C-alpha cells in the first residue's frame, strides 16, 4: 500500500475534471490532506504547503501536477517543462474567449476549406513564434488578471510572447471539427492556436475540447482522479 509524506514532499499527478478550476482542484486535495489521520494526529500546527505546476482552463481536463511540502520548491522548474495536449478545434465560428466558455459571436465561411488545406496549414505553426494570449486568461496586466478586466468590459491589450510548437499533428477531421495532438513549450495557449488556425484558413475557429496529456515525463496515464485520490487517502 502506498504511503505519503506530505511534509517532506510529494508530487501528485491529478486528472483535473471538466469545469473545475485548477484552484478548486488544489483546494480539494489540500482539504483531503489536511484531514488525513497522519496530519490530524501530528503535533505540528502548520500544515504542508500544496500548489500546482501549471494552470488548466476550467473547460480543459487532464494532467495537473500538484506538489506538497518541500516539493513545492520544484514548482517553477516543473512549470518550465514542455506540455502535450489533445483536443478538437471547431472551424467556421469564433467566441470571445476562443473556447466554449462564451457563446459564438461570429460565423465565417468554410466552403473553401479542404482536408489537405488543414493539413498543410499545420506546418505554418511549427517552430519558434510569437503568440498573443487570450484576453480571457490569467496573464497579469498592471497587477490584475486579464480575465477580470475582460469580464468587467475593459479593453485588454496583451503583448505577444515567444513559444515553440514542437508537434502539431491532426488526428481526425470530421465535419469541420479538427482533432489534434500538440507538443509545445511553457506559456503556450492552445485556445490562441485555435484562433490563429482559423485565421490562417481565412475563416474562424474556436476550441471545443482540450486535454493535457503530458508535462515533461509525467503522463496522464499515471494520474488519479480527485475522487480516487481522496478515497486512497481514506484507506491509508
Query: Per residue in 38-88, pLDDT tens?
Result: 555 454 556 789 999 999 999 999 999 999 999 999 999 999 999 999 999
CA 131 to chain centre: 16
List 15, 42, 57, 217, catalytic entry: 57
Q: How far, in Å, are 63, 66, 83, 124, 183 from residue 214 at the CA level?
A: 7, 14, 6, 23, 9
Q: Which residue has the cell 475563416?
A: 203
Dihedral of the alpha carbons of 148, 91, 173, 120, in degrees to the nearest 10: -100
pLDDT of residue 41: 46
Q: pTM here? A: 0.92
Average pLDDT over all residues of the chain: 91
Domains defined for the chain, CATH in brackets: 11-80+218-235 (3.30.2350.10), 83-215 (3.30.2350.10)
pLDDT of residue 140: 80
42 a catalytic residue? no
pLDDT of residue 148: 79
Amino acid at each position: 500500500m502506498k504511503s505519503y509524506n506530505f511534509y517532506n514532499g510529494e508530487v501528485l499527478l491529478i486528472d483535473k475534471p471538466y469545469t473545475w478550476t485548477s484552484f478548486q482542484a488544489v483546494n480539494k486535495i489540500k482539504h483531503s490532506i489536511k484531514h488525513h489521520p497522519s496530519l490530524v494526529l501530528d503535533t505540528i500546527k502548520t500544515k504542508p504547503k500544496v500548489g500546482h505546476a501549471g494552470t488548466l482552463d476550467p473547460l480543459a481536463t487532464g494532467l495537473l501536477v500538484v506538489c506538497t511540502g518541500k516539493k513545492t520548491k520544484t514548482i517553477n522548474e516543473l512549470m518550465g517543462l514542455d506540455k502535450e495536449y489533445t483536443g478538437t478545434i471547431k472551424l467556421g465560428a469564433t467566441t470571445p474567449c476562443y473556447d466554449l466558455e462564451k457563446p459564438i459571436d461570429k460565423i465565417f465561411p468554410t466552403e473553401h476549406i479542404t482536408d489537405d488545406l488543414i493539413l498543410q496549414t499545420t506546418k505554418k505553426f511549427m517552430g519558434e513564434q510569437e503568440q498573443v494570449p487570450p484576453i480571457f486568461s490569467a496573464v497579469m496586466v498592471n497587477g490584475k488578471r486579464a480575465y477580470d478586466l475582460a469580464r468587467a468590459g475593459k479593453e485588454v491589450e496583451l503583448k505577444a510572447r515567444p513559444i515553440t510548437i514542437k508537434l502539431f499533428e491532426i488526428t481526425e477531421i470530421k465535419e469541420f471539427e479538427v482533432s489534434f495532438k500538440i507538443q509545445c513549450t511553457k506559456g503556450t495557449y492552445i485556445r490562441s492556436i485555435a484562433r490563429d488556425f482559423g485565421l490562417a484558413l481565412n475563416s474562424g475557429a474556436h476550441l471545443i475540447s482540450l486535454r493535457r496529456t503530458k508535462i515533461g515525463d509525467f503522463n496522464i496515464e499515471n494520474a488519479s482522479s480527485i475522487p480516487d485520490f481522496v478515497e486512497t487517502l481514506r484507506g491509508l
